[in-house]
Amino acid sequence: VIVQRPRDNGLKFKGFDLGVSARWLQEQRKKSLARARVGLNPREAALIERIKRLKKESGTHSPSAWTLAQRIPELRLKVDACFLSNPYATQLFLMHFHREVVRPRKLRALLELYPSQNRVIAAKLGRVLELNPESIFVGNGAAEIIQAILHRFTHEKILVNLPTFSPYYEFTRPDTQAVYNVLRKEDNFCFNPDAYLDLVRRERPDTVVLINPNNPDGGYIPYVVMRGLLEELRSVKNVIVDESFIHFACEGNGYLYRSLADQVGRLPNLTVVKSMSKDFGVAGIRAGYAVMAPDRVRTLLDNGFLWNSSGLAEYFFDLYSRPDFQAQYERERIRFIRNSRRFFAALAKIDGLHIYPTHANFALAELSGGLSADELVCRLLIRRGIYTRTCDDKKGLEAGKFVRIAARNRPENAYIIRSLRRMIG
């Protein structure tokens, strides 16, 4: 039996020398880095063309990882860091779903029967949110809600911050004019309430939109500032606050977050939009809700939207309304925030990458080296199976240097960091 003795400069595995020196490994790494940095081989170039074509078909949105995997099966997708969600919450939901639906053979009822009408689901949500159920409108994802409110309640002019989540200016009626409050990268994309209110006075929009935390930069307006803003915006016909990422934005002690939904009773011009896809990691279910004045909910329901929730969405909202699930979810939310903060800190340490301050579950990264955002996104996808989002198509971020990177679970975050270091570090 030959027992190899550990050497100082050799690589070890469980205390044993693997027979390669650290220097050799370092050289190999350098070579691999060099390979990653040079031009693409023909296969890679062809793949990039196909990705770009798919991207073009998807307009100002990224093709979903689902579409990508189906249309370009050669891509071996490992990490979807384009998709903004809490993967731990997905896991928690799946556990319940298997235990309560799949195993007891209750899936059939969920798929076969008509789900409940909007009002019935709103009543359940009202109890857990401690809000008047008549002020809750349940949507087939936040996207449906955004479209519904922009088409019914917005008329002449909408004011949105830039950069922003594009449906707020894309889904408007053709006769609605969009005006922009530009958040400057020189200010770290920070929101300035005074400049904003000046702009509102000047432009007199009938609708203003505040996404908090903002997408795609993750900038956050604190609760007290928002409360003050809402007072100043009382004369604006529609104030839309999109809190789709609020579960990731903590203020003060602990990991508490504060929603403005309870202000709707006081402020009839306020609509709070909430996607469930992000914090609960269930985008495939299409579930969201909005809180607004009861007469607005009635207007929307009178226009249809009767059976817009699927059986799965109804099960999700049932689960969401349960205290046992809420307690479990709260643990996963905090766990995810902790991991995400570590991830953003590690991202910020990579040379050639500037990370803007974020209170969300993603970070906006600016590239300072020679590589463009598009090149980085494509290479990460082809060579490492990591799907990130180029911001080239985002108004206000067209410089070709911005990439949005979502936090995922710990091993995935570590893999993203390793891959980015290889490519640009």
* Residues near a second copy, by CB under 8 A: 57-59, 61, 63-67, 70-71, 80, 83, 85, 87, 90, 93-94, 97, 102, 107-117, 119-120, 140-141, 143-144, 146-147, 151, 167, 171, 173-174, 277, 281-286, 302-314
For residue 105, how many other CB atoms are within 10 A of its CB? 8
Using the minimum distance from each CB to a second copy, give the nearer residue, 80 or 332.
Answer: 80
Helix, strand and coil in the chain, % to nearest 5: 45, 15, 40
Comparing CB distances to a second copy, the nearer of 135 and 422 is 135
d(CA 250, CA 253): 8
Q: How far is the CB of 85 from a second copy (least distance, A)?
A: 7
CB nearer to a second copy: pick between 88 and 356: 88
Sequence-distant (≥ 6) Cβ neighbours of residue 118 within 8 angstroms = 137, 138, 301, 305, 306, 307, 308, 309
Closest CB to a second copy among residues 54, 348: 54
Cβ proximity to a second copy: between 171 and 180 the closer is 171
The least CB distance from residue 173 to a second copy, in Å, is 8
The order of strands in the sheet holding 389-390 is: 353-355, 362-367, 402-406, 389-390
Q: How far is the CB of 139 from a second copy (least distance, A)?
A: 10
CB-neighbour burial class of residue 277 (10 A; exposed 0-12, middle 13-18, buried 19+)? buried
**Cβ at position 72, least distance to a second copy in Å:** 12
CA 421/CA 403 separation, integer angstroms? 15
The SS3 of residue 321 is coil
Q: Which CB, 119 or 354, lies closer to a second copy?
A: 119
Nearest to 28 by CA among 422, 425, 424: 422
Q: Closest approach of Cβ 110 to a second copy, in Å?
A: 5
**Minimum gap (Å) between residue 71 Cβ and a second copy:** 8
